[in-house]
Amino acid sequence: MMAVRHTAVFLSDLLWNSANDILAKLIFKIAFATRFQHIPFGATRRPRHSEDLMVAKTPGDPPSRAAEFAECIALIARDGNEAAFDVLFRYFAPRIKSYCLRLGCDASTAEEITQDAMVAIWRNAAQFDRSKASPSTWIFAIARNLSIDRFRKSCRPQFDPDDPALVPDGEVPPDLLIERAHTDQGLRKIMESLSANERSVLLLSFFENLSHSEISRRLDIPIGTVKSRIRLAFGKIRSALDEQDRTSSS
């Protein structure tokens, strides 16, 4: 699988990553040891301005609660633990609702989709595989798929990992599987390294459901610029993940 990987890596990202790698690992270890006794999320938010299209996150935010959330999902799958579900509800329900509103749902549809997403998290907890995705990525996929069905009145076909015609990944070393659980950590670093312009096109594309031409009108920049910013931002994200895979397989 490594053989087919795209190998182009932005040099600046490489330097930036290696400088931050040790620090990020240390933060993760401390956070894990203290079971994420973090500051409440709202306390670090900046006020939202209509023209401020950046993520609300600032570099001083607490580390990801991925390990804690993954544990909660495991507890739900194992014995239907409602206290664990409560942790997920308090964190994710308001964010799923916010996501739906940004897509353009009215308030009651946003509430409905959020409710269904939370029920789906409960019911499908056994399918969550922390070696394949972080909790927030898994939950995002649930919310996205529900919103496509309900709000966008469309379908999103997906591949079947057990299909006989699927071309397999090849041998994936076990330590790589463990590293992939921390994919969101590498991504976090990269998102913080993106320029404001790159981040704004990514957010508009993802959360406001705007096409390239709509983004181009909204930001008053040529469509070619929109495309190239998305390409650049996405290239950086992918390079970071490729780099992570190479590091863990070497």
- Among residue numbers 40 through 99, which ones bind another protein (CB under 8 A)? 41-42, 45, 48, 55-57, 64, 76-77, 80, 82, 85, 89, 92-99
Q: 188: exposed, middle or buried (C-beta count within 10 Å: 0-12, 13-18, 19+)?
A: buried
Number of residues that bind another protein (CB under 8 A): 96
Phi (first) and psi of residue 14, to 5 degrees: -55, -50
Residues, the chain: 250
Q: Does 171 bind another protein (CB under 8 A)?
A: no
Q: Does 168 bind another protein (CB under 8 A)?
A: yes
Q: Does 111 bind another protein (CB under 8 A)?
A: yes
Exactly one of 70, 205, 219, 243 binds another protein (CB under 8 A); that residue is 205
Which span (15-23, 24-32, 236-244) binds another protein, by CB under 8 A? 236-244
Site for another protein in 132-161 (CB under 8 A): 132-141, 143-145, 147-148, 152-160
* Least Å from the CB of residue 132 to another protein: 8
Exactly one of 30, 126, 178, 222 binds another protein (CB under 8 A); that residue is 126
User: Closer CB to another protein, residue 16 or residue 54?
Assistant: 54
Q: How big is the chain by its Cα radius of gyration, in Å?
A: 19
Helices (H), the chain: 11-33, 66-79, 82-103, 107-123, 135-150, 174-180, 183-193, 196-207, 212-219, 223-249
Q: Does 179 bind another protein (CB under 8 A)?
A: no
Exactly one of 27, 177, 203, 221 binds another protein (CB under 8 A); that residue is 203
DSSP string for 152-186: S--------TT-TT--------HHHHHHHTTHHHH
Q: Are 210 and 218 in contact (CB under 8 A)?
A: yes
Which span (14-22, 29-37, 129-137) binds another protein, by CB under 8 A? 129-137
